Structure formats: C-alpha cells, structure tokens
Structure 1
Amino acid sequence: METNTFLAQLQDRVQQIKATAQAEFLSLEPAALNFKPQPNSWSILECLEHLNRYSRFYLPAFEKAIAPALASGSAQLVKYSWFGKKSLEMVNPAGAKKHKTLARMNPQNSQLTKAVLDEFLQHQDTLLHLLSKATTADLNKKTVPVEFFQLLKLRLGEALEFVVLHEQRHLQQALRVKASAGQPLSLVV
C-alpha cells in the first residue's frame, strides 16, 4: 500500500478508537470502569492502562524516528519484514488467540482512576499528530525498537500499524467488559 494511503487509514482507525473510547467510557462511573467479569480478567481501565504503558514507550520512539526525517521524493509502498508480519498477526483484533503480556505491561489489580482514560485520549491525539508528521519519513528505512526486547527493531510503518492494531484489540476487549457489566453500548459513527 502506498505510504500516504497507509497513514490515512491508520489516522482513520485512531480517530475511530478515540471516538469509541469517548462515547463508550467517558460517562461511566468509576465502579463500571473498574468492573471485572472474572477475577483474572481486566477491567476497562486495566485494558486502557495496558495501552497507556505501550504508548509511553512507543510514542517517544515514533517521535525520535520521525523528527529527523526529510521528505522522500516519491510515493513509496509500505513493506513488511517477517518479524513485522508476525508482530501484526499477534495483535490483530480479528485474531482469537490470547497472548500473555509481560509483567511490567500487565496492569491487573492496579488501583486505577478515570485519569487512565484521560491519558489514553491524550495518547490518541499525540498518535494522530505523529501519523500526520510521518508523511515525511521513510516508513521502510526508519526503525523503532520493540518494547519487550529493544535490540529487535520494527520498521516505522510496521510499528505504527502494530500500535494501532494493538489498541483496536484491547478496545474491543474493553467493550466486551462493558457489555458483560450490563452497560449499554453507544453507536459511534
């Protein structure tokens, strides 16, 4: 896919993530945001805190990769490495397979407040800004370290898509938690 189309699609997804989080979670009381369907499952806020922990790592890494970028002369296709394809497959929201998260990224049993939701929404604004700046970067040559093992690197385009898919996956999880609590789901258009 051509770079500008790829980035525009990611921006659309992030806009949808933000709109859904605002519509579904902003009006909820703290008890609903902290409700867990099962003792071992995550609450809505734990799902969002997990994503915040990833954003605290990846957003500065994206900024660093994008900042020195010079505009490329021609439209390029976004390319994927074997590792990039596997990483995207792992976080694909359509995938049913569960994956164990690293202890430092697992917010289970944390004492969380609505500030988690506010931070999540701020991260979405930052990500949208970075996606608009990324049009000047070579998404295939710039790399971003992988959070769990920083010697491994993803191409910038792969890493951007990884974060967005990961957010979609856990937003769906948070919506399932809301539905299991008997909270009505809003229609977001």
Structure 2
Amino acid sequence: MKKKNLGYTMLMLLVMTGFAGTVNLNPLTKKEKQVAVDHLKQSKDDLMQSVKGLSDNQLNFKPSAEEWSVNECIQHLALTENLFWESMNKALKETPNPDKRTEIKISDEEVLAKMASRDNKVKTFSTLTPDNSTFTTTKEALDVIKMKRKTFIQFIKTTETDMRSHVVNSPMGMVDAYHLVLMNAAHTNRHIQQINDVKSHTDFPKR
C-alpha cells in the first residue's frame, strides 16, 4: 500500500511540476541516428577533400564576376552551418506539435535529394552571402565547419529528444527538426558540386 501511495505521489508531483509533459516517447531510432551521422560525416569529409591542397590563387579564382570562388563557397558554408544549428535548436525549444506532421509532404530521402540538387535554384539569403562573412581566411571558415559539424554529430548520437514532433516551416514546406539536420549535410553536398565545377573550369589556375 505504501509503495502504491508513493507511486501516486510521485506521479502527481511530475504533473504539477510539468515534467510529465516533457517525457520523450519517440526519440530517434538507431537507424535514423546512423543515417544522419553518416551524411554529416561523409559530406564534411568530402568537403575537406575537395579543397585539400588548393593554393590561395586557386581558392580565390572566380569563373565569372557573378559566380562564387571556392573560398566564397566555404565562407557561405560556414555561415549556414551555424544557421542550421541555430534553426534546429530553435525548433526544439518550441512546444512539440506532432499534430502538424500531417502537413509534412516530403520524405527524408527527398529532403536529401532536393537540397543537394543544383537543379533546384534557390536565392541565397543576403545574410548568408560571402560578403557578410566575418571569417578572414578559408582555413578559419573550414575550422568553424569542422567544429560545428562535430557538435552536430555528438548531438545526434546522444539526444533522446523527439525531433520528429517539432515541425516547422521551411523553403521546402513543413519539415521536422530531424529534416533540418539532413538539410545541413545535403546543403554541403550541393556546394561541393559547385566547388568541383569551379575546379573544372578551363581557366582554373594550375597552382
């Protein structure tokens, strides 16, 4: 009887303090975590490989006045790495809204494919253009990307948050907080393609 009363008392305390409403019933599955971690790691590694050994002359080569150099792509990626982290955390701080999941019309695979595809032309927010970067060198921007990506990966590995129940609006329509993580990795892949296009330009410096 005492144990029963104790259990009831604990339940009432949880309800009154609000903790009962914060229990995460649907944390990410092992597969979901692994998919996100794999994409975050691979895209970061591919980015580092794409710029490895490039000289300052090569990093700053612009195919045209309107097109970005490799360095400018990196500056942009450093800015967006921070933005995706802030956006994810902002979404997770909001009250869970699982009822909004019915408004999500895009799958994980489609998020990855559409964000990475350069066929889908998207105008960059002015705050995310290289001109607004405060990073003085390519190395500094790359270091920011590596540091923030490590934070992303550690978060995904350890979180028990129900990321699927935090639904927000995005340029792709309604998505959940987990989708924002996938977007980050795919966005990196998008600009790796751009970097490779710059490197394959006929006037790209030999060194």
Where structure 1 has 5 or more consecutive residues not aligned to the other structure, the ranges are: 68-77, 185-189
Query: Aligned in 2, Cα 1:80/1:172: closer, same or farther, shift over 3 Å?
Result: farther
- Residue of 112, 124, 145 corresponding to 1:120: 145
Query: Aligned in 2, Cα 1:183/1:65: closer, same or farther, shift over 3 Å?
Result: farther
CA deviation profile, 1:48-89 (whole Å, cap 9, x unmatched): 22222222222144356669xxxxxxxxxx98713788x938
Residue 139 (structure 1) shift: 2.2
CA contact (8 A) 1:145 1:154 kept: yes
Give the secondary structure class of the aligned counterpart of 2:88: helix
The separation in 2 between residues aligned to 1:108 and 1:84, in whole angstroms, is 34
The separation in 2 between residues aligned to 1:91 and 1:53, in whole angstroms, is 20
Give the secondary structure class of the aligned counterpart of 2:80: helix
The separation in 1 between residues aligned to 2:49 and 2:112, in whole angstroms, is 28
The answer to whether the aligner puts 1:177 opposite 2:203 as a matched pair is no
1:5 aligned partner: 31
Residue 27 (structure 1) shift: 2.0
Where structure 2 has 5 or more consecutive residues not aligned to the other structure, the ranges are: 1-27, 94-100
The separation in 2 between residues aligned to 1:5 and 1:80, in whole angstroms, is 23
CA contact (8 A) 2:44 2:188 kept: no
Please give the TM-score of this superposition, normalised by the length of structure 2.
0.65
The separation in 2 between residues aligned to 1:158 and 1:102, in whole angstroms, is 20
The answer to whether the aligner puts 1:94 opposite 2:120 as a matched pair is no
Q: Give aligned-pair identity as a percent.
A: 22
CA contact (8 A) 1:3 1:139 kept: no
- Residue of 185, 202, 205 corresponding to 1:164: 185
Q: Give the superposed CA RMSD.
A: 3.5
2:10 aligned partner: none
What letter matches 2:166 in structure 1? K
Query: Aligned in 2, Cα 1:16/1:182: closer, same or farther, shift over 3 Å?
Result: farther
The separation in 2 between residues aligned to 1:141 and 1:109, in whole angstroms, is 33
The separation in 2 between residues aligned to 1:161 and 1:53, in whole angstroms, is 17
Please give the TM-score of this superposition, normalised by the length of structure 1.
0.70
Residue 156 (structure 1) shift: 1.0
What letter matches 1:165 in structure 2? A
- Residue of 86, 106, 129 corresponding to 2:129: 106
CA contact (8 A) 1:50 1:105 kept: yes
Query: Aligned in 2, Cα 1:92/1:61: closer, same or farther, shift over 3 Å?
Result: closer
Residue 167 (structure 1) shift: 1.6
Residue 143 (structure 1) shift: 4.3
CA contact (8 A) 1:14 1:164 kept: yes
Structure with bigger helix share is 2
- Residue of 59, 65, 72 corresponding to 2:85: 59
The separation in 2 between residues aligned to 1:103 and 1:158, in whole angstroms, is 23
Larger radius of gyration: 2
